[in-house]
Chains A and B, each alone.
Chain A
Amino acid sequence: MARRVAPEINGGSLADIAFLLLIFFLVTTTMDVDTGIARKLPPMPEEPKEKVDIDIKKRNVCVVLINSQDQILFRNRPMNVDNLREAAKEFIKNEFDDEDLPEKEYKFIPELNKEVGIPKGVISLQNDRGTSYGVYILVQNELVAAFNEVRDEAAMKYFGKPKFDDLTEYEQEGIKTLYPQRISEAEPKNIGGN
């Protein structure tokens, strides 16, 4: 033997060190996935003074108003948040061709392979400066939920699948044409003071 073999380093404490680091990362990790309601703002008009009056018939507009006391007015009727979804769905679909609810434009949609009446309704969400953000999001959520439920129902009706998300992209496109998500966040207004 030329020289003595160096004694092997004891690896027993390796696990302890690794555990220490593991616990550190376990504690510091926040597995927050950022979620939220995605919206698209309307672009700023080029000429602020030139107001183009787009002629939208009264029956096609659904004004949802939230005042500074967080009370909701849906098409001039006071309403509770819980009833908002049903009311919005009724407005979006206009199943029985009501005179007060949006007009329909009959058009052939190739994706659905059918001629259907596309409702021309627009939901306009207006709020006061004093409205609280929590309630605003609650209402936004109900409106988006109404659209999603209507689309789910359409998915069932035309394709026999219970969920809009289960459809193929092509099929989804057809339903999107039938029920486009038209929620407009109006220009700021001061209603009822702060």
Chain B
Amino acid sequence: MSKFNKGKKKSQPAINTASLPDIVFMLLFFFMVATVMREVELKVDVSAKDLPAATEIKKLEKKSLVSYIYVGKPRQQYVTMYGTEPRIQLNSSFASVTDIREYIIAEREQRDEAEIPYMTTSLKVHKDTKMGIVTDIKQELRKASALKINYSSRKLY
């Protein structure tokens, strides 16, 4: 009898918490499976809120077949080295427009030959970027015949 229950006539039996770890583990496994760790460190400023918003968007299927091109202003810690003009990031380093073709070829080599036609290039571009750099990227992609592209944008409600 605990001292707080003195007034009551009958004490309630304690709830069995033995299954609590099971429940927590279940949730844990769910989150472990659902978590996608970001494999590249973003050096340019394109977080989700900086992407343009659109209503007619489609989900990007087959993540393993997607190559990403990031365009935006360099992050705070890189400003001294790379300035404030929008730059291109491929993988985890800054790149120039001419590097794109090599990047696409390298991405292709990692995949199965049969999957190459289904490869998509996702352009994650900050919405304040000027189209000049985007047009250059598009021309490079055309030269590399990576024609399937996706203008990454968030859902507009």
* A52 sits at the interface (CB 8 A): no
**CB distance B59 to A136 under 8 Å?**
no
Partner of B25, one of A18, A128, A148: A18
The number of chain B residues touching the other chain, given as a range, is 35 or more
Inter-chain contacts of A30 with B (CB < 8 A): 36, 38
**CB distance B135 to A127 under 8 Å?**
yes
Partner of A37, one of B32, B48, B139, B151: B151
Inter-chain contacts of A180 with B (CB < 8 A): none
Contacts A15-B24, A35-B152, A41-B138; is A133 near B56 (CB within 8 Å)? no
Contacts A25-B32, A137-B54; is A36 near B147 (CB within 8 Å)? no
Inter-chain contacts of A124 with B (CB < 8 A): none
Inter-chain contacts of A192 with B (CB < 8 A): none
Contact with A along B130-157 (1 / 0, CB 8 A): 1110111011011101011111111110
* A144 sits at the interface (CB 8 A): yes
Pair count A-B, CB < 8 A? 145
**CB distance B58 to A38 under 8 Å?**
yes
In the complex, chain A residues 91-144 whose Cβ is within 8 Å of any chain B Cβ = 127-134, 136-138, 140-141, 144
Contacts A36-B57, A36-B60, A134-B128; is A15 near B20 (CB within 8 Å)? yes
Q: Could you list 7 examples of A-B contacts with CB < 8 Å?
A: A21-B28, A34-B122, A35-B59, A35-B153, A36-B123, A39-B151, A141-B55
